[in-house]
Chain A
Amino acid sequence: MTVNKWTAAEVARKVIDNEELFILDVRNHDAFEDWKIEGHKFEYLNIPYFELLDGVEEILPKLPPDKEVLVVCAKEGSSVMVAEMLSEAGREVAYLEGGMKSWSSYLEPIKVSDLENGGELYQFVRLGKGCLSYMVISEGEAAIIDAVRFTDVFTNFAKEKGVEIKHVFDTHLHADHISGGRHIAANTGATYYLPPKDATEVVFDYTPLTEGLNVKIGASQIDVNALYSPGHTIGSTSFVIDNQFLLTGDILFIDSIGRPDLAGLAEDWVGDLRETLYSRYRELAEDLVVLPAHFMIIDELNEDGTVARRLGDLFKENHGLNIEDEAEFRRTVTDNLPPQPNAYEQIRQVNMGKITPNNDEQTEMEIGPNRCAVR
Chain B
Amino acid sequence: MGYIIILVIDFQQAKSMEIYKRYSADVVINNDYFIAKYYTHIGIMNSEFAYFFIGNNTTGGKCMIQANYQLDAKGLACPMPIVKTKKAIKDLEDGQVLEVQATDKGSKADLAAWASTVGHQYLGTVEDGDVLYHYIRKGSNEPVVEKTFEHTVSLDEIESGDGLILDVREAAEYAFGHIQGATSIPMGELESRLEELDKEEEIYVICRTGKRSDLAAQLLANNGYKKVYNVLPGMNEWNGKITKEI
Chain A positions within 8 Å of B, measured between CB atoms, are 28-31, 48-51, 53, 73-75, 77-78, 81, 364
Contact = CB atoms under 8 A, between A and B. Distances in A.
B113 A30 contact: yes
Contact of B109 (A30, A49, A73, A78): A30
Interface of B: 77-80, 82-83, 86, 105-106, 109-110, 113-114, 117
B109 A50 contact: no
A48 B115 CA distance: 12
Contact of B83 (A48, A53, A74): A53
Contacts, number: 41
B197 to A, nearest CB: 41
Contacts of A75: 77-78, 106
Interface of B is mostly: helix
A77 B80 contact: yes
A77 B79 contact: yes
A77 B113 contact: no
B82 A364 contact: no
Interface of A is mostly: helix
Contacts of A77: 77-80
B127 to A, nearest CB: 13
A237 B167 CA distance: 60
A30 B111 CA distance: 13
Contacts of B110: 28, 48, 50
Contact of A73 (B78, B86, B105, B114): B78
A73 B110 CA distance: 12
A73 B105 CA distance: 14
Contacts of A28: 109-110, 113
29 contacts: A28-B110, A28-B113, A29-B113, A30-B109, A30-B113, A31-B109, A48-B110, A48-B113, A48-B114, A49-B78, A49-B79, A49-B82, A50-B82, A50-B86, A50-B110, A50-B113, A50-B114, A50-B117, A51-B114, A51-B117, A53-B79, A53-B82, A53-B83, A73-B78, A74-B106, A75-B77, A77-B77, A78-B79, A81-B79
A74 B105 CA distance: 11
Contact of B79 (A29, A31, A50): A50
A193 B114 CA distance: 48
Nearest to A48: B113
